[in-house]
Structure 1
């Protein structure tokens, strides 16, 4: 069996980066994985709450004052197309467990 192709990742000694080799089949994981393991993205949050992304977004906008990272919360709201939603995992889980009655309700809030 042939080894998967490896691709260079990084720029040698430019702006703090170094050149390294990454297996081609692992490159996507590396790019999509947040640097901080406690920072998660929308698919993770949907699993935590148990609903679809559109439904979760409606619920998150209802609690924006409490959840917005700019106001000390645990959610970085998307600022437009291509800007991902980000969640501080431990804090978001705590918030959902404290407000589980509201998060377990149907889509209509």
Structure 2
């Protein structure tokens, strides 16, 4: 039996694409698969918190023990260049509302 043909398939990331080899017969399933629902990136979080990215990152570091997804929170912290910040939208929005006093401060920290 002949092995199915594989085709290159780009999976979008924050700053470009990652090339993955996918079996031709599985490509249609991969394309039709829905993206993670409720996961947002840093620009979205800046709008929710009404502050710039550098300011938001500094504020998020204060709450790392509570917000880190590895510890049950709603923020996937960036691990370096090319690793995007990710936010569970409903949970992060709720957190900002609960800590609106901190997020409403307009000064850069």
Please tell me the root mean square deviation across aligned C-alpha atoms, in Å: 2.4
TM-score of the superposed pair, with normalisation by structure 1 = 0.71
TM-score of the superposed pair, with normalisation by structure 2 = 0.71
TM-fit CA distance, 1:35: 1.4
**Cα distance between partner residues in 2 of 1:19 and 1:90:** 28
Of residues 28, 49, 60, the one that matches 1:18 is: 28
Structure 2: runs of 5 or more not aligned? 1-6, 10-21
Question: Stretches of 4+ moved more than 4 A in 1?
Answer: none
Structure 1 residues 45-71: Cα deviation after superposition (integer angstroms, max 9, x where no partner): 001011111010000001100100000
Structure 1: runs of 5 or more not aligned? 1-7, 22-33
More strand by share: 2
Tell me: higher relative CO, structure 1 or 2? Use CA pairs within 8 A at least 6 residues apart: 2
**Cα distance between partner residues in 2 of 1:38 and 1:85:** 14
